[in-house]
Amino acid sequence: MKRFRFISIFLAFAILISLMLPSAYAASSSVKGMTVEAKAALLQDLDSDTVLYAQKADEKVYPASLTKIMTALLVLDAVDAGKLSLDQEVTAGGTTWNGLESDTSSANIQVGEKLTVEELLKCLLIQSAGEAANVLAAGVSGSIENFVQDMNKKAEELGCKGTHFVNTSGMPDPNHYTTCNDLYLMAKAAMQYDEFKEIVASVDCRIGKTNKSEERHYYNTNGLLSNMRYSGYVYSSCIGIKTGSTEDAGYCLLSAAQQDDKTLVAVVMGCENPTDKAGNIKRLQFSESSRLLQWGFDNFSERTILDSTFPAGDVKVTLSKEADHVAAVPEGTVSAELPNDISIDDFDIATDLYESVAAPVKKGDVLGTMTVSLDGVEYGTVNLVAANDVSQSVWLARKAAVQNLFSKLWVKILAVVILVGIVYLVLRFKVFKRKRGSYGGSKRRSAGGGYRGGRRRRK
């Protein structure tokens, strides 16, 4: 029984490791006819990390102002660590406008101006102010250069595979790049902060009067949230996140939307915004993003593939008079975000059960595993456990213990040695007894013979 317990622990550990691995699946292969007018695109479920759509999602692209998601993430990490506070004032230093072009988005922050960390984050994420990124960078890491190093370190920690930063705001540079997959990882990390979620979902913001400026009022650059900048693109389910555009990057949008209890994140990179015959610019970064998000809501749903009611089979039980088999049932469930046109019956179920198990068996004891897959993609593995208790027969257990003992090689060797020893002692005893008998007989024969000598008389 100890051997089976060890196997059970090993299987449980292996399943735990598998559950810690990334759980994203390209499950959208059965949903046909979806393409996005962009250089690269990605649609992913924020809660399960399931990939619903991917279009060159691992190819390097210029991030433009989507870079500011990482900038904000590092600032909020510093706040969370107690290095800064949201109401702490930061003074814009001499490097405030370093590396920025004259036509970059800005909040007109002046050198020497004092703003709180929260106000700077609003300027960064709502107005997309490049100088706010530099001010925050110096406030967190002491310098822009140190902050950029921290950005690259954070990207590596998040598991980004195709990202490298050289500035805080997304100014064009051949060595400043990322991927849709990496941008999703950054957004997911940033969305863990309530402050971030609140700011990127805001239609507008007001920056109070400072030592260098009167009150300022800015509207979000995200056309899915407001008509104030771009009319006709509002998507009621949108909850953020960030726009970006440069000549090299094209028009980009990383957006999030929520319907019921499902949150989807769309990354659309490198859109080209054509002008129609009437002279109207088609803002594809917005229209393609909302179309992609709604397609995800319409065509995918959370489905239970496997639960405890699924028949898994029986396992033979030894050392018991109560039962010779015990039923195995799945422990827990396997669920996934799946295309609505996929049938649960299409999945492959691979069962790996023990051939037998020795009683006593406790309800919940691990008896094997069950793996669910479709088209070579694994969707989960669960333990198979005993459905009920099975008691042990004491007599059968003792009999098996004796049989097991005498089946061991060292016991057999010991038995042979003991047997040889016994044989040796018996033979030695017989030989000794024979020799002793022969010696005793010769003495009796000598004593029984007549004395030939004469008796000497006294004179």
What residues are labeled active site? 65, 68, 128
> Could you give the angle at which helices 117-125 and 130-141 cross, rounded to 10 degrees?
140
Give kind and range of the element (H or E) at residue 262. strand 262-271
Residue 94: HSE in the Cβ half-sphere, 13 Å Cα cutoff? 0
Which ranges of 21-159 does DSSP label H, i.e. alpha helix?
67-80, 117-125, 130-141, 144-158
DSSP 177: B
CA dist 393 and 200 (Å) reads: 66
Question: What residues contact residue 438 under an 8 Å CB cut-off, 6+ apart?
Answer: none
CA-to-CA separations, 233 to 18, 244, 389, in angstroms, rounded = 41, 16, 61
Long-range contacts of 194-200 (CB under 8 A, 24+ apart): 195/76, 195/79, 195/86, 195/118, 195/121, 196/72, 196/73, 196/76, 196/121, 196/125, 197/239, 197/240, 199/72, 199/121, 199/122, 199/125, 199/126, 200/125, 200/126, 200/239, 200/240, 200/241, 200/242, 200/256
CA dist 415 and 165 (Å) reads: 75
Burial of 95 (0-12, 13-18, 19+ CB in 10 A): middle
By three-state DSSP, how is residue 16 classified? helix
Hey, which residues does 251 pair with through a beta bridge?
Answer: 245, 271
